Amino acid sequence: MISIAEDGKRRLRYAVENGRLSHVTLISGDPYVCKMLTDYAASLIFHKTESKVCDVPDYLHFDGSELRVESCEQMLGELNVIPTSGQRLISIANAGKMSDIVQNMLLKTIEEPPDGNYFFLYGNERALLPTILSRCSVLTLGNLSHEDVQNAILPLCANESDAAYIARLGGSIETAMRLCTDEQFMKFYSDCAEYMCSVGKSTPKWEKLKELAAYDAKTAAAVFDMVISDMQRIKLGTEPVYFTRQPENALIRSRADSLSDKQINSLAELLCDMHRKLSSNTPAKQTFDNFAAKTEQVIYYGRYE
């Protein structure tokens, strides 16, 4: 059971049963939980179990990152057809990844949606246009606990110990599930940790850094964060939280022992700057090149410019 999902279900059930469900609902939180709650809302609207509701013809699913002008026109055109069940739910994942043009097309419909049509949006909500946000009823979820993530992925893991380890690395349910099922993605985590521990200690692996940036820049930055956080804990005489298994644990301990507190704190500052640039859509290659150069300065000179 995921605690924040149970609270979200309670609020949705109240809205549906009392006729107060908004025609446009934005769920803000972990994407996996957002999808779970959207399915739950559909089960209430269509009077189906959550396991069968996805087969309902009037429950439409779209990915905002894939919606283009033509496909959006097709989606909006379908809303003019009376739903067979009398109601229709349109789910849009990765809503914030819709282009401004598509969002403006959608805006015209959600301002005055046809009767019986309900929109549920989630994912990357900070990138939604203010005009879209102003028309949404927002369901904000709390933060996922480590136990929530662990419970969600436990069926995919060999034992509780593996689930606990992967839950810490993943942070979100979606990422943790991918770590459980995608060996390449788990290797990516190890590569990120290895890179952070090798800079300044051996020949810089510039090509490897480019690979990491191209594969998934934001996740790479998040893994770098975990490495530095574990190094800081080691310096304070406490145990690492994230990379608790070999060989990554030995690499991080060795690197932490070779760096001063000042150097590790400077690396943490560089990572904060990296996150800001990636969030502002600075090209990943440019951001990572800058990070690599300044990291070398920290390692060799104890500071960066």
CATH number for the domain harbouring residue 53:
3.40.50.300
- 8: in domain: yes
What does the pLDDT look like over 63-92, one tens digit per residue? 998 999 999 999 998 888 889 899 999 999
What does the pLDDT look like over 97-115, one tens digit per residue? 899 999 999 998 998 888 8
- Please, which contacts does 203-211 make with residues 24 or more away whose CB atoms are closer than 8 Å? 204/292, 204/296, 206/292, 209/288, 209/292, 210/285, 210/288
Angle at 256 between CA 279 and CA 176, to 5 degrees: 45
Which range, of 17-31, 154-168, 229-243, 268-282, averages the lowest pLDDT?
268-282
Report the C-alpha dihedral over residues 244, 249, 253, 259, rounded to 10 degrees.
-110
In DSSP notation, 225-244 reads HHHHHHHHHHHTT---SS--
What is residue 91's three-state secondary structure?
Answer: strand
Q: For residue 47, give every residue at least 6 positions away whose Cβ sits within 8 Å of its Cβ, in sequence order, or none.
A: none
Residue carrying structure tokens 């779970």: 36
Domain count, the chain: 2
Question: Based on the domain organization, do 115 and 208 belong to the same domain?
Answer: no
Residue carrying structure tokens 């000042």: 262
Question: Based on the domain organization, do 10 and 135 belong to the same domain?
Answer: yes
What does the pLDDT look like over 11-32, one tens digit per residue? 999 999 999 999 999 999 888 8
Question: Based on the domain organization, do 282 and 186 belong to the same domain?
Answer: yes
**Full-model pTM:** 0.73
- 276: in domain: yes
Question: Based on the domain organization, do 232 and 110 belong to the same domain?
Answer: no
Within a 13 Å sphere around the CA of 276, how many CA atoms are in the beta-carbon half? 8
Question: Based on the domain organization, do 95 and 212 belong to the same domain?
Answer: no
- 169: in domain: no
- 153: in domain: no
Question: Based on the domain organization, do 115 and 224 belong to the same domain?
Answer: no
End position of a domain, from candidates 89, 113, 140 = 140
Average pLDDT over residues 121-143: 90
Domain housing 246: 182-301
Give me the percent of the chain exceeding a pLDDT of 70: 96
What phi and psi, each to the nearest 5 degrees, are found at residue 205? -90, 75
End position of a domain, from candidates 107, 140, 173 = 140
